[in-house]
Each structure stands twice: as structure tokens, then as C-alpha cells.
Chains A and B, each alone.
Chain A
Amino acid sequence: GENVEQHPSTLSVQEGDSAVIKCTYSDSASNYFPWYKQELGKRPQLIIDIRSNVGEKKDQRIAVTLNKTAKHFSLHITETQPEDSAVYFCAAILNAGKSTFGDGTTLTVKP
């Protein structure tokens, strides 16, 4: 089955700096890669996603890149703010919603 590795497990940045979280996946048939943000005690929220036929996608301060050949994708957050502090999960979806999640990255943005 699919295996998703996510790094780093924790990340601390100063407000205004950029943050990058990386994930690798094993099954080349996976074709959809969402990112979720989960604040303490709350449900995961979809923040951005990318399909396998796209190399990069951007939404304001958040961007995701995908390298299908290397089977890795990354989340980039620019101009970080304290409210960006949360756990971020990547996922790889094989088909029909069959999702495999990474282990999560705890991002702390220091004011």
C-alpha cells in the first residue's frame, strides 16, 4: 500500500519567516495530494491541494509543489503569522478517496 513520510516533525520559525514542510510518497499511482491544518482540539481543515498533472499551486501565502518523478511534494508558507501555528498533515490519495496521511508537522510561529 501507499506510504507517506513527512518531515520535519516539528518546525519553529520567527514571525515573517517562511516555513517548508516536505512529504514523500511511495505509490506512483497516487494522483491527488491535499494538505490539512489541524489546530489543537479541532478538526483537520483542507488548506490547499494539488493534482498529479500540476507542478505548483499557490493560494495567497500558501503554495504547494509536486515532483512526480521524485515522488515528493512540499508545502510552503510565506510571511508566517502566529495564527499559522498548528499541526500540518500531508496526504496522498490513490483513488476514490483512499487516503494515506503523513505523521504531521507541528509548526510554531514565534511572535
Chain B
Amino acid sequence: SAVISQKPSRDICQRGTSLTIQCQVDSQVTMMFWYRQQPGQSLTLIATANQGSEATYESGFVIDKFPISRPNLTFSTLTVSNMSPEDSSIYLCSVGLDRGNTQYFGPGTRLTVL
């Protein structure tokens, strides 16, 4: 497994602003992912964070709204841009071992947009 931390753990933001969430892993991993989990709902994959190249986004998610950085094999950031109340959710990063199949999740960032 891996030890994964996220910052911040929670935040309350005003609409129209942006928030950057950080994800740190205690060992080098090839694959990192970002998910969204709305209250009482399932997990939805936002994108795969690729080291050294652009992230790969899933249908319904775009780079302008959710820019992702992956500067090295232990760190990634997700920015939620121009936020609206609909962006209120828990955002989780995960690391994928075994070619991405075995995933371990970070503790999540609870975002509330007013």
C-alpha cells in the first residue's frame, strides 16, 4: 500500500474563486487519479494525472475547469476553477499500483462553495 495525504482537508470558498488541492504520496508511483464524490453518492473519476504530460480527463470533465499538475512521481495537484455551489463535493486522489488496478485513496478534501 501507500501513505497518502491531502491538503486541505476541508475548505469553504466563495463562488467564482479557485482552490488547489494537493496530494502527496510517501513513495514513487506511476499512476495517480483524481475523483469526485458528491454527498451520499458514488465516486466519479475526473482524470488520470500523468507525470510529465497532460492529464487524461474523463467524459464531462475539462482541463479548464479542473487543471491538474503532476510534477513528479510523489505529488499531484487538482485545481477547481471558477467554482460554483455545484462543485461542492469531496475530492479524493488515489494512487494506482499494479498497473493502476489496485488503488488506494487519500483522505479526501471536503469542499463547500457558497
Q: Chain B 31-44, CB within 8 Å of chain A: the 1/0 string?
A: 10100000001111
Across-interface contacts of B108 in A (CB, < 8 A):
43
Check B43–A101 contact: CB distance below 8 A: yes
**Number of A-B pairs, beta carbon distance below 8 Å:** 56
Query: Quick check: A43 and B107 within 8 Å, CB to CB?
Result: yes
Task: Flag whether A93 is at the interface (Cβ < 8 A).
Answer: yes
Contact, CB under 8 Å: A97 / B33: yes
Least CB separation from A44: chain B residue: B105
User: Would you give the shortest CB distance from A106 to chain B, in whole angstroms?
Assistant: 9
Which of the four size classes fits the interface of chain A?
20 to 34
Contact A32 B101 (CB under 8 A): yes
A34 B101 Cβ-Cβ under 8 A? yes
Known: A43-B105, A43-B107. A101 touches B100 (CB 8 A): no
Please tell me if the beta carbons of A89 and B102 are within 8 angstroms of each other in the complex.
no
Contact between A101 and B44, CB atoms less than 8 A apart: yes
Other than the known A46-B104, A98-B45, what 12 A-B pairs have Cβ atoms closer than 8 Å? A34-B103, A43-B106, A44-B43, A46-B102, A89-B42, A96-B96, A97-B33, A98-B48, A101-B43, A103-B41, A103-B42, A104-B42
* Shortest beta-carbon contacts, A-B, top 4: A97-B100, A97-B96, A32-B101, A43-B105
What residues make up the interface of B, taking CB atoms closer than 8 Å to A? 31, 33, 41-45, 48, 58-59, 92, 96, 99-108
